[in-house]
């Protein structure tokens, strides 16, 4: 794109919101559609992502006095005005610096009450995106100005949701939910902004409209812990998403109040020998690689429906979950995973980060922790994987302390889920030992893992760099079969030789998949990949989500009972 201030070509062009944002010069941010919460007081703006010929983004948005979040003089003294972003760096309001945030994936917000005035207010956003220096994670975004190999078009600018929120002087800012079905309860920790000491926090749980639990606690400080006993237990399971509604109400001594509506799911996960148990059942994870790219918006889905659709088309093929690959996905994707009973692994976009030195932790770890805090409550999320394929950089090996520190911090923040230190290679300390294997021959693929069945040698792609210590084991990337018979792009690629016919593709897919389903010591697989991404054409769907094969054929292959399943 030659003009850094205009969007050209087939990008996402969404509707303009009716509330208080107006573009002023700078880049063209495409806002909308709008979703309202808190009685219509939050504006959620789904923005389109793009790539420019410069490595920066500058955007100005303004709020006029028709927008209640920034302009009602009578309420400014009683309520706080928060502006929330999900990927930017520096913010100014009316020319005054408000704050900074580092990282393009995790959310942040600022209280701008003291910066706004009656009438028009200008919010200025500046983001600098450096994908070449090794100082920040970039994921699958190309370090060049064009897509190549398994790196794709870069995303520069606002690609996630932005909203204005008006809140009381004292309000509930966030909460943590820990399901405890074994003891018929759910544990909550709610955080409060402002002084609510002496007030009360009440939590009510409902299932399908029926009250099933309630408790009240006195507020003594900025954090309140409480346990809600549940009279009915309904487990959240793959394909059967039973969810409870949850309401928290804060009542202050000064008659102030705040109410938050949410939901939770009851489920347990644990490793048991070679099995991965969900609600004490050995569940074979039929995962697919989902990279979260879209032809219309790159990192940004065209609509909420598109996020849901990606899960539905995966389940249509018989997959029960996905690796959310090299990207922190939109929270709305995880919402739909919760609603549809779809398993997901949370990852960070670590590619591009120099991990040959612990200095990289300053850029990686805070953002990873913010992402974990954001996504902790989702029952669909069953494991964490902060790194993927930590290859040597310029001939220098990874600093193992980088992986060890991130693993230990992840376990400390969330002891309820297993952690893979780095998917594929090179493992340092990990709860699960996974490999990436793109062998295209089902017979040699089978032979490689056959000794493991009877207690023999366990295949290790890099025995000189990583040690297998008896952990649960699975192939977290395989297949990647090249299939694009109608495409003429000379840059198109997939793994191995392209099959000569659709029948040959199906035979190869079934042969490779059966090896993993039939293995009594494998708890899952992850096929590469759900859909094509630009020049990488090994998806089961095209980039615009059209099926390449009869979905029922793929579903039949994937759905066969696995040897390790109960």
520 inside domain:
yes
Task: Indicate if 471 and 530 belong to the same structural domain.
Answer: yes
- What confidence score (pLDDT) does residue 366 get? 95
CA distance linking residue 298 with residue 175, whole number of Å: 31
Please check whether residue 260 lies inside any domain of the structure.
Answer: no
Give the end of a domain, one of 213, 236, 255.
Answer: 255
* Mean pLDDT lowest among 4-13, 336-345, 522-531: 4-13
Residue 275 included in any domain: no
Do 53 and 92 belong to one domain? yes
Residues 291 and 195 grouped into a single domain: no
Indicate whether 549 belongs to any domain: yes
Co-location of 456 and 326 in the same domain: yes
Q: How far apart are CA 424 and CA 385, in angstroms?
A: 11
Answer yes or no: is pLDDT of 16 > 90.
no
Token pair belonging to 453: 């069945």
Q: The domain spanning residue 119 has which CATH number?
A: 2.60.120.260
User: What is the rounded CA–CA span in Å between residue 552 and residue 334?
Assistant: 26
Task: Please tell me the distance from the alpha carbon of residue 26 to that of residue 6, in angstroms, as a whole number.
Answer: 9
pLDDT classification of 17: cutoffs 50, 70, 90: very low
Q: Specify which residues 289 forms β-bridges with.
A: 323
- Which range is least confidently modeled, 73-87, 332-346, 349-363? 73-87
pLDDT(57) > 80 = no
Q: Confidence class of residue 131 from pLDDT cuts 50, 70 and 90?
A: confident
Of 143, 168, 193, which residue is a domain's last? 168
Q: State the average pLDDT over residues 402-428.
A: 98
pLDDT higher than 50, residue 75: no
Q: Is residue 345 part of a domain?
A: yes
- If one counts the domains in the chain, the total is 3
Q: Are 362 and 330 in a shared domain?
A: yes
Asked whether residue 429 is domain-assigned, the answer is yes
Q: Which two tokens stand for residue 510?
A: 């079934």
pLDDT band at 85 (very low <50, low <70, confident <90, very high): low
Positive/negative CA dihedral, 37, 38, 43, 44: negative
Query: Which of 168, 189, 215 corresponds to the end of one domain?
Result: 168
Across the chain, mean pLDDT equals 86
Computed over its alpha carbons, how large is the radius of gyration of the chain? Answer: 24
Taking the model in full, what pTM does it have? 0.87
| pLDDT at position 164 | 87
pLDDT of 286: 99
Q: Are residues 116 and 218 in the same domain?
A: no
pLDDT of residue 134: 82
Q: Please tell me whether residues 164 and 181 are part of one structural domain.
A: no
Tokens of 524: 């899952």
Would you call 198 exposed, middle or buried from its count of C-beta atoms within 10 A (0-12, 13-18, 19+)?
exposed
Q: Could you tell me the pLDDT band of residue 79, with boundaries at 50, 70 and 90?
A: low
DSSP 8-state class, residue 358:
G
Which CATH number is 538's domain given?
A: 3.20.20.80
Which is more confidently placed, 58 or 331? 331
Q: Which residue has the tokens 């923040």?
A: 413
One domain, residues 68 and 26 = yes
Q: What DSSP state is assigned to residue 295?
A: T
Are 294 and 416 in a shared domain?
Answer: yes
pLDDT tens for each residue of 520-553: 999 999 999 999 999 999 999 999 999 999 999 9
Residues 58 and 195 in one domain: no
Q: Looking at the structure, do residues 377 and 454 belong to the same domain, yes or no? A: yes
Q: How far apart are CA 390 and CA 326, in angstroms?
A: 12
Q: Which domain holds residue 191?
A: 171-255
Tokens in use for 437? 């294997």
Using omega within 30 degrees of 0 as the cis cutoff, is the peptide bond preceding 33 cis? yes
Q: Check which CATH number belongs to the domain holding 232 and give it.
A: 2.60.40.10
Asked if residue 183 belongs to a domain, the reply is yes
Is 4 inside any structural domain? no
Q: 364-376: per-residue pLDDT in tens?
A: 999 999 999 999 9
Contact 76, 36 (CB under 8 A): no
Q: pLDDT > 70: what percent of the chain?
A: 84
pLDDT for res 83:
65
Q: What mean pLDDT is predicted for residues 12-40? A: 35
Q: Residue 220: CB partners within 8 Å, gap ≥ 6?
A: 197
Q: Is the pLDDT of residue 563 over 80?
A: yes
Residues 181 and 196 in one domain: yes
């Amino acid at each position: 794109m030659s003009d850094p201030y205009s969007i050209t070509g087939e990008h996402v062009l969404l509707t303009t919101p009716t509330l208080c944002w107006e573009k002023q010069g700078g880049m063209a941010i495409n806002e909308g559609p709008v979703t309202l919460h808190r009685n219509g007081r939050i504006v959620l703006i789904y923005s389109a992502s793009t790539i420019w010929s410069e490595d920066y983004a500058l955007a100005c948005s303004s709020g006029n006095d028709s927008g209640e979040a920034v302009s009602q003089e009578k309420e400014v003294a009683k309520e706080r005005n928060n502006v929330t972003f999900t990927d930017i760096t520096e913010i100014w309001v009316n020319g005054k610096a408000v704050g900074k945030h580092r990282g393009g994936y995790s959310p942040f917000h600022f209280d701008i009450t003291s910066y706004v005035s009656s009438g028009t207010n200008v919010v200025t956003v500046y983001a600098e995106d450096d994908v070449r220096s090794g100082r920040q994670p970039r994921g699958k975004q190309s370090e060049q100005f064009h897509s190549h190999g398994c790196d794709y078009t870069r995303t520069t600018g606002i690609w996630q949701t932005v909203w204005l929120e008006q809140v009381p002087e004292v309000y509930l800012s966030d909460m943590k939910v820990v399901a405890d079905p074994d003891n018929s309860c759910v544990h909550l920790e709610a955080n409060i902004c402002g002084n609510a000491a002496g007030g009360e926090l009440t939590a009510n749980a409902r299932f399908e409209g029926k009250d099933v639990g309630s408790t009240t606690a006195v507020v003594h400080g900025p954090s309140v812990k409480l346990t809600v006993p549940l009279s009915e237990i309904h487990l959240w399971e793959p394909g059967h998403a039973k969810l409870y509604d949850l309401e928290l109400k804060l009542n202050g001594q000064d008659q102030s109040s705040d109410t938050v509506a949410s939901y939770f799911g009851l489920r347990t996960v644990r490793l048991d020998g070679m099995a991965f148990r969900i609600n004490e059942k050995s569940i074979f994870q039929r995962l697919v690689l989902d990279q979260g790219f879209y032809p219309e918006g790159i990192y940004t889905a065209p609509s909420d429906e598109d996020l849901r659709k990606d899960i539905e088309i995966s389940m249509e093929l018989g997959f029960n979950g996905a690796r959310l690959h090299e990207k922190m996905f939109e929270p709305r994707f995880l919402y739909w995973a919760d609603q549809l009973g779809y398993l997901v692994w949370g990852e960070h976009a670590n590619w591009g980060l120099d991990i040959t030195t612990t200095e990289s932790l300053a850029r990686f770890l805070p953002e990873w922790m913010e992402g974990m805090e954001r996504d902790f409550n989702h029952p669909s999320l069953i494991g964490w994987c902060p790194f993927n394929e930590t290859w040597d950089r310029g001939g220098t090996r990874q600093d193992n302390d980088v992986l060890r520190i991130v693993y230990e911090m992840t376990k400390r923040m969330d002891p309820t889920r297993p952690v893979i230190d780095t998917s594929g290679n090179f493992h340092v300390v990990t709860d699960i030992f996974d490999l990436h294997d793109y062998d295209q021959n089902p017979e040699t693929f089978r032979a490689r893992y056959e000794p493991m069945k009877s207690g023999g040698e366990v295949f290790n792609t890099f025995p000189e760099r990583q040690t297998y210590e008896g952990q649960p084991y699975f192939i977290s990337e395989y297949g990647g079969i090249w299939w694009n018979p109608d495409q003429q792009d000379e840059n198109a690629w997939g793994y191995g030789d392209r099959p000569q016919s659709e029948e040959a593709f199906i035979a190869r897919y079934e042969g490779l998949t059966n090896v993993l389903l039939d293995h009594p010591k494998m708890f899952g697989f992850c096929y590469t990949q759900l859909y094509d991404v630009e020049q990488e054409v090994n998806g089961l769907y095209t980039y615009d989500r059209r099926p390449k094969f009869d979905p029922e054929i793929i579903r039949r292959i994937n759905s066969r009972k696995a040897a390790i399943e109960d």
